[in-house]
Structure 1
Amino acid sequence: MRFRNKIDGSDKKRLVIVACFLFVLFCSIVVRFFHLQVTEGDKWQKIASAQHQIDVTEYFQRGGFYSNTDIKKDNPKEKVPFVVEVSKFHLFIDPHSIDEKYKLAIAKKLFEFFEFSVNEKEKIFCDFFKKSRSRKIISWIDREKKEEILRWWQIFSRENKIVRNAIFFVSDYKRCYPFGHLLGQLLHTVQDQKDPLTFQSHPTGGLELYFNDYLKGKLGRRIITRSLRHPLDVGDVIDKPQNGSDIYLTINHYLQAIAEEELEKGIKTVNAKSGWAIMMDPYTGEILAAAQVPFFDVRKYREYFNSEDLKETAKFKAAVDLFEPGSTMKPITL
């Protein structure tokens, strides 16, 4: 048997063609790999992350207003708030992670925790069928109600093998007024609905509007991973929220309460329609109390701004209304 020891020209040509083909194929694979991993790396990373992660907004705490507790040396130094932010929660769902056969049962159970109108129930139920990974369905939930919902959901999701963070909560803050209507016309309030893009509050007037730039905060961000192995609120804070600045007034809460009470008594005594009074420190010029009757209850601000009769009550008349100078002009005219 005889073997060919030499490679003829046609074989060399074939080898060169195969080698070139393999080289071109390898180069195209490298180029494609570079294109996917480097050029479009961010794009595919976002697509992959979107399937298992959700970017959740971390809300900031708007600055508050505090009383002047330094008018006497013996007064306590603790902070006494006129306005503070209290922690509330928004309930979100991930419709994609909830099987169709469980959506009605989950919606009905959530309705048992709250008192909703028929229209509100219909809107919430429709959100369960939206093509979305994150839908806010209920707002401004107390911590106790949140814990009650979580206890039910942990059992329900485990029994039906649903991803636990198909329902999750995002913390937020809402204005609270420990003294009720006290100093209402001067302070004012903010609207319940925040800006959908910046999540900043919309002041209705007063000091809330005047100091709005100082009271504002900055949003943060948190990443929540969707998985059967992860609990509801697991997430990494990638950008911490920055709270707004607090404002310390010269007004004292005790003096303000006394001024409003005595002013109300005086108006009833003389059968007047309204009145206001200012208490000032003559040595420093600091305003210690600014009372006005009828009161403006900022907790029910919608009722005042939706009524022509009550709208005037929301004004701080001592600062915005015009008055005749009266007897103050006598020294000049004489």
Structure 2
Amino acid sequence: MKSRFQKTSSKRNLVIAAGLIIWFVVIFGRLIQLQVFQHEKLKNEAIEQNRYIREIWPTRGSILDCQGKILARSLPVPSLFLAREKNEGSEHLFARINALQSIIPLSGRELQRIWNRIENGDRFIWIKRKISWEDLEKVKQAKIAGIFAQTESKRFYPLGAHLAHVLGGVDIDDRGLAGLEYKYNDYLQGKKGRVLILRDAFSRKYDLQVIEPSQPGYDLILTIDSHLQYIVERELEKAVLENQASWGTVILSRPSTGEILAMASFPDYDPNTFPPADPLAQVNRAIQENFEPGSAFKVVLAAAALELKPECLQNVYDCSTGYVSLGGLTIRDHKRFSLLSFPEVFIHSSNVGAIQVAFELGQDNFYAWIKKFGFGEKTGIDLPGEEAGILRPPRFWTIHTLPHLAIGYEISVTAIQLLQVINVIANQGILLPPRILKAVAGQEGLQPLPAPSPVRVMSSFAARELAENILAQVVDSGTGTAAALDCFPAAGKTGTAQKYDPWLKSYSASRHRSLFVGFVPVDKPALSMVVVIDEPRAGRYYGGEVAAPVFREIARRALLYLGESPRRTPRKLILASKENLRSQNRP
């Protein structure tokens, strides 16, 4: 017979055994739940806590000039980011950022962005992008948990402000925002890839696996020649500063192909720090500035008259009064002339004579030829932001419009449009649209772009007559003598335009724009150029005084660089003789 103690002990054992069995069943059931029913879910959560998938930005294509010189390229640089574990508290992340600040200074704006991202619960947070490799080494030595580095590409422009308005600039993600970087962003940026970042229990990266490799972008080869670009930029800056002008622009091209060899605007900016502090410095004045061209537009009038009324070459125009009055409008010559032949009207840039030619031509004919030369439309140059200019149709003209158009007013044009006109004349009436991209290069090799199709705008007779008997004489004996070169006959047209004052609602007598557009040599043009200097304030303002010398200096140095053979003996040839040497007591 069992004692009471034995009975109590037996019951206690049964209770304990039952409890152990129940605990075992619960644990076993929980294990079954975790290992069988929730296995995939928990596995994915564990993997998610220790990995992160990021996009790989491809290496952006380079931009090169026609000689292969690098104008823009992307190089690898490190970027710091914070990888947050799931449910990790914000205070721990703040502490890491504070520890990092002693190594990598962060601005107040950067800190605020990081705090906001932490508070939002983001798991991937950029800390500092595109730092130096030296700074990265300091961060690695600090061994701050959760702080990692990823290699990105940073855009570099090794020549600084050189060709800035053509190249444009990119944002922090290497996306084009202006210029060629924007226009051909799809070609340059390539295709993004994906990378898997694996971390251990201490949030330390231990492996990086490429899921999908990135594909580099295409390289762009331009028609630009860096040496010629340097010449253009130097002479343009010199002219703007010496004449105390607001801005200036120069475009240099090869008329036989339409290729742009140089394009510059001043003031400029350094695309390495894009965007510039002054938004106006970013404007590409060569294609984005509309202006009234003044007497440079008389080239269009002369071309139309020669084409439609070739007998005008025999005409003589009475310019003795020195002015023309029409409906309350008085237009004056820059100096008084007497009788002028048709060529002399343009050689000496007579407003009075040009207006008479315009009335002989008629408004419909003149308008048709203005349109034929492409005014009021974009040239189609492969740069973003090109302006089309402003040209009103005849139904909106007043009694003053025709005489104003004859001398380059009541119309807005761009520098590239004026260059296109002079190229037509240089090409004996053939239009070849301007272009700046020559070829693209990628994994498939070099792919030259097809040449633009030529379009005849005017007859070769009229173009040759205009070039040789008018524009060449402008440089030899007319308003453009400051553009003359000793060894090469040049052709061109000066322009001086009064600027409209919106406050006074009239043209200003003290604000001008100076222009010259031309080509050289006359017989077989190797170069064409347009020069625009806005608001010169150093005393001189005529196109023949301000813009023509810029043409001369650029053309002289460019022809020497291109190896063009002189077409004539210098006008002031200095010969050394034994007699001269003896007179100077030299052997």
Partner of residue 65 from structure 1, selected from 63, 66, 71: 63
- Once the two structures are TM-superposed, the CA of residue 135 in structure 1 deviates from its matched residue by 2.4
AA aligned to 2:142 is W
Question: Cα distance 1:229–1:296, how it changes in 2: closer, same or farther (>3 A)?
Answer: closer
Match of residue 327, structure 1, among 298, 306, 310: 298
The alignment status of 1:94 with 2:94, answered yes or no, reads no
- Determine if the alignment matches structure 1 residue 190 to structure 2 residue 163: no
C-alpha change, 1:175 and 1:236, in structure 2 (3 Å) is same
- Tell me the CA shift for residue 104 of structure 1: 5.5
Distance 2:179 2:260 in 1: 15
**Paired position in structure 2 for 1:178:** 158
Residues in 1 aligned to 2:90 and 2:248: alpha-carbon distance in whole angstroms: 61
The answer to which of 264-273 and 121-130 deviates more is 121-130
Taking structure 2 as the reference length, what is the TM-score of the superposition? 0.41
Q: Please tell me whether residue 141 in structure 1 is matched to residue 113 in structure 2.
A: no
Output one character per residue of 1:216-269: Cα deviation in whole Å (capped at 9) or x when no partner: 222211112111699646211111111111111111222211210111112223
Flag the 1:105–1:52 CA change in 2: closer, same or farther, 3 A. Answer: closer
CA contact (8 A) 1:95 1:130 kept: no
User: 1:129 deviation in Å?
Assistant: 6.8
Report the CA distance between 1:318 and its aligned residue: 1.9
**Equivalent runs, 1:1-334 vs 2, <5 Å:** 46-69=44-67, 79-96=68-85, 103=93, 105-118=95-108, 120-121=110-111, 123-124=113-114, 131-153=121-143, 166-192=146-172, 194=173, 201=175, 203-227=176-200, 232=205, 234-304=207-277, 310-322=278-290, 323-324=292-293, 326-329=297-300, 330-334=302-306
**Is contact 2:199–2:206 with CA below 8 Å preserved after alignment?**
no
Please list the CA deviations of residues 276-333 of structure 1 after superposition, one character each: whole Å capped at 9, or x if unmatched.
11222244332211122111333344444xxxxx434322222233453523222323
Deviation at 1:59, TM superposition (A): 1.7
**Structure 1 residue 99, shift from structure 2 partner:** 8.4
Flag the 1:287–1:123 CA change in 2: closer, same or farther, 3 A. closer
User: Shift of residue 126 of structure 1?
Assistant: 6.5
Report if the CA contact (8 A) 1:62-1:85 is conserved: yes
Quick check: which one's strand share is greater? 2
Q: Report what 1:12 is aligned to.
A: none
Partner amino acid, structure 2, of 1:177: Y
CA distance in 2, matches of 1:225, 1:119: 30
How far does the alpha carbon of each residue in 1:180-214 deviate from its partner, in whole angstroms, 9 at most, with x for none?
1111111211223x4xxxxx72x332212221221
Cα distance 1:278–1:233, how it changes in 2: closer, same or farther (>3 A)? farther
Distance change >3 Å, CA 173–CA 272, structure 1 → 2: same
SS of residue paired to 1:234: strand
Q: CA deviation at 1:65?
A: 1.1
* Code of the aligned partner of 1:250: T
Normalising by the residue count of structure 1, what TM-score does the alignment of the two structures yield?
Answer: 0.69
How far apart in 1 are the matches of 2:289 and 2:83? Answer: 52
Q: CA deviation at 1:110?
A: 1.0
SS of the residue 1:92 aligns to = strand
Displacement after TM superposition at 1:167 (Å):
1.9
SS at 1:313's partner residue? helix
What letter corresponds to residue 176 of structure 1 in structure 2?
A: F
Pairwise CA RMSD: 3.2
2:177 partner SS? coil
Does 321-330 or 135-144 show the bigger shift? 321-330
The equivalent of 2:556 in structure 1 is: none
Rg larger in structure: 2
**Offset at 1:85?**
1.1
Any conservation in 2 of the 1:107–1:125 contact (CA below 8 Å)? no
Aligned mates of 2:90, 2:184 — CA distance in 1 = 48
The structure-2 alpha-carbon separation of the partners of 1:103 and 1:316, relative to structure 1 and needing over 3 Å to count, comes to closer
> Cα–Cα, structure 1 residues 244 and 116, in superposed 2: closer, same or farther, change >3 Å?
same
TM superposition shift of 1:127: 5.5
Deviation at 1:132, TM superposition (A): 4.8
Aligned residues: 268
Contact 2:53 2:197 in 1 (8 A): yes
AA aligned opposite 1:146 = L
Structure 1: gaps spanning 5 or more residues: 1-28, 70-78, 195-199, 305-309
Q: Letter of the aligned partner of 2:85 in structure 1?
A: H
Q: Which residue of structure 2 lines up, in the alignment, with residue 3 of structure 1?
A: none
**Please, which moves more after superposition, 240-249 or 99-108?**
99-108
Counterpart code for 1:295: D
Deviation at 1:66, TM superposition (A): 0.8
Secondary structure class of the residue paired with 2:160 = coil
How far 1:145 sits from its partner (Å)? 1.0
Q: Secondary structure of 1:141's partner?
A: coil
